Chain A
Amino acid sequence: MSLTDVSAGYGDRVALEHVTVSVARGSLLAVVGPNGAGKSTLLKLMAGLVEPWSGRVEILGGPPGREARRVAYVPQAELVDWGFPVTVEDVVMMGRFPRLGPVRRPGREDRRAVVEALAQVDMDHHLGTQIGRLSGGQRRRVFLARALAAEPDLFLLDEPVTGIDPTTQELLMDLLEAQARRNRTVVATTHDLAAAAQRFEQVLAINRTVVAYGPAGMLLDADVLAKAYGGHLLVLPGGAAILDDAHHHDDAAPGERHFHDRDAH
Chain B
Amino acid sequence: MDLILEPLGSPIIVRALLASAMVGIVCAVVGTYVVLRGIAFIGDAIAHAGFPGVVVAFMLGWPLYVGAAIAAVGTALSIGVVTRRAGIRQDTAIGVLFAGTFAFGVFLFSTIQGYVADLFSFLFGNVLAIGPQDLVALLVLGGGVVLTVAILWKELLYATFDPLGAAASGIPVERLEYLFLTLVALTIVVSLQAVGIILVVAMLVTPAATAQLLAVRFTRLMLIAAMVGVSSAVVGLYLSYWFDVASGATIVLVQTILFAVALVAGPRGLLGRRATRAAAATGAAEAAR
B36 — which chain A residues lie within 8 A by C-beta?
A: 84-85
Decide if A146 touches B165 in the complex (CB within 8 Å).
yes
Instruction: Please give 16 more A-B residue pairs, beta carbons under 8 A apart, in addition to A81-B161, A85-B221.
Output: A69-B169, A69-B170, A71-B168, A74-B165, A79-B162, A80-B161, A80-B162, A85-B212, A86-B217, A90-B217, A94-B157, A94-B166, A95-B169, A97-B155, A98-B169, A103-B151
Contact with B along A148-178 (1 / 0, CB 8 A): 0010100010000000000000000000000
**In the assembled complex, B215 has its CB within 8 A of some CB on chain A:** yes
Kindly state whether residue B154 has any CB partner on chain A within 8 Å.
yes
In the complex, A80 Cα to B161 Cα: how many Å? 7
Chain B 146-171 per-residue mask, 1 if CB under 8 angstroms from chain A, else 0: 00000110110110111011111111
Q: Across the two chains, which residue of chain B brings its CB closest to A44?
A: B164
Complex A-B, nearest 8 residue pairs according to Cβ-Cβ distance, in ascending order: A68-B170, A73-B168, A47-B168, A98-B169, A130-B216, A75-B164, A69-B170, A94-B158
Interface residues of A, dominant DSSP:
mixed
Instruction: From A73, A85, A156, give the contact of B216 (CB < 8 A).
Output: A85
Alpha-carbon distance A185/B164, docked complex (angstroms): 20
Interface residues of B: mostly helix, strand, loop or mixed?
helix
Q: Are A102 and B152 in contact (CB under 8 A)?
A: yes
Mask, A135-153, CB within 8 Å of B = 1, is 0000000010010001010
By the criterion CB–CB under 8 Å, are B169 and A71 in contact? Answer: yes
With both beta carbons as reference points, the residue of chain A lying nearest to B35 in the complex is identified as: A85
Known: A75-B162, A80-B161. A85 touches B218 (CB 8 A): yes
Structural contact, B165 and A75, CB atoms closer than 8 A: yes
Contacts known (A65-B170, A86-B217, A130-B216); A73 close to B165, Cβ less than 8 A: yes
Cβ contact within 8 Å between B171 and A97: yes
**A58 nearest CB across to chain B (Å):** 16
Across-interface contacts of B216 in A (CB, < 8 A): 85, 87, 130
A24 at the interface (CB under 8 A from B): no
| Structural contact, B170 and A94, CB atoms closer than 8 A | no
Which residues does A use to contact B, with CB under 8 Å?
11, 44, 47-49, 65, 68-69, 71-75, 79-81, 84-87, 90-91, 94-95, 97-98, 100, 102-103, 105, 130, 143, 146, 150, 152, 156
A residues near B151, Cβ cutoff 8 Å: 102-103
C-alpha spacing A80/B164, complex, angstroms: 10
Given A69-B170, A73-B165, A75-B164; A85-B215 close (CB under 8 Å): yes
Give A76's nearest chain B residue, CB to CB.
B164
Q: How far is the CB of B41 from chain A (nearest CB, A)?
A: 17
In the assembled complex, which residues on chain B have CB atoms less than 8 Å from the CB atom of A74?
A: 165
